[in-house]
Amino acid sequence: KAGVTQTPRYLIKTRGQQVTLSCSPISGHRSVSWYQQTPGQGLQFLFEYFSETQRNKGNFPGRFSGRQFSNSRSEMNVSTLELGDSALYLCASSTEGPYEQYFGPGTRLTVT
């Protein structure tokens, strides 16, 4: 079974721009969660989607948004990028929360 895939793997953006990241979960997994990982803050939960519905949201500003499609693929969008948004963005999927979830390789975003 193929694992979680994320695209792109690396991104360099300028302050003020917006970015869209994509995640394809493991086949059969309907729950997709997004995380931001930075050296200072560790792994921070952004949001979780199940069957196209956002069920949980972390403490991030409204510039961070996401969605899930009917095939369970998910995207997250960050608008008006700030330098502090530079991080590794990780997507994880599970059959159903809160059971075991598996991470993709991540997207490394650098904001200059």
Partner 1 sequence: QKEVEQNSGPLSVPEGAIASLNCTYSDRGSQSFFWYRQYSGKSPELIMFIYSNGDKEDGRFTAQLNKASQYVSLLIRDSQPSDSATYLCAVGGGSGTYKYIFGTGTRLKVLA
Interface ranges with partner 1 (CB under 8 A): 31, 33, 35, 42-43, 45, 48, 50, 55-56, 58, 88, 90, 92, 97-106
The nearest distance, CB 80 to partner 1, in angstroms, is 26
Determine the residue type at 55.
R
The nearest distance, CB 35 to partner 1, in angstroms, is 8
- Residues 46 and 35 sit within 8 Å (Cβ to Cβ): yes
Nearer to partner 1, 79 or 88 (CB): 88
What is the rounded CA–CA span in Å between residue 81 and residue 104? 23
The nearest distance, CB 97 to partner 1, in angstroms, is 3
Peptide bond into 25 cis (omega under 30): no
